[in-house]
Amino acid sequence: MNGTLLVIEDNEQNFYMMRFLLEKHGFTIIGAENGRLGIEMALRHKPRAILLDIQLPEMDGYAVAAELKKHDELADIPIIAVTSYAMVGDREQILTAGATGYIEKPINPETFVDEIIHYLPDKERGEIR
């Protein structure tokens, strides 16, 4: 068991792609299609990391990251933004909002899992390999 990852993503195709790649590597994936549900699931399941789409309905990824960071019990859980924005300002904005890092869409199936693992805490990285 490599742990549970929460994927907050409203695009079904992107979600299935991420779930497929991560499950193949041994992660357990739980999903939320909007930010409100994602925050609820983060609090309930305390996942090992949270993959966060930026373009979400109602509450965008910046707002979700900021809200997640208000909860002390979630403070140690890395938030990895998954963003189709390539502009430097957007990167800074999501890191300022509380994300540990970001991955750009479209997802590259060759490197995606390694990119996720890169953002997991060092001491746990060895358990996955």
Long-range contacts from 105-110, C-beta under 8 angstroms, 24+ separation? 105/14, 107/14, 107/17, 107/18, 107/21, 107/82, 109/17, 109/21
- CB 72 to Mn ion: min, Å: 28
Structure tokens at 129: 């390999």
Q: Which of 2, 3, 55, 66 lies at the binding interface for Mn ion (CB under 5 A)?
A: 55
C-beta of 33 vs 115, nearer to Mn ion: 33
Binding of Mn ion by 53 (CB under 5 A): yes
Angle of helix 61-69 versus helix 88-96 axis, rounded to 10: 30
Give Rg (Cα) of the chain.
13
- CB 96 to Mn ion: min, Å: 20
Residues 69-128 that bind Mn ion (CB under 5 A): none
Please check whether residue 60 is in contact with residue 87, taking contact to mean a CB–CB distance below 8 angstroms: no
C-beta of 10 vs 90, nearer to Mn ion: 10
Residues 7-36 that bind Mn ion (CB under 5 A): 10-11
C-beta of 53 vs 120, nearer to Mn ion: 53
- CB 53 to Mn ion: min, Å: 4
- CB 128 to Mn ion: min, Å: 27
From the list 16, 15, 26, 9, the residue with the least C-alpha distance to 113 is 26
**List of residues contacting Mn ion (CB under 5 A):** 10-11, 53, 55
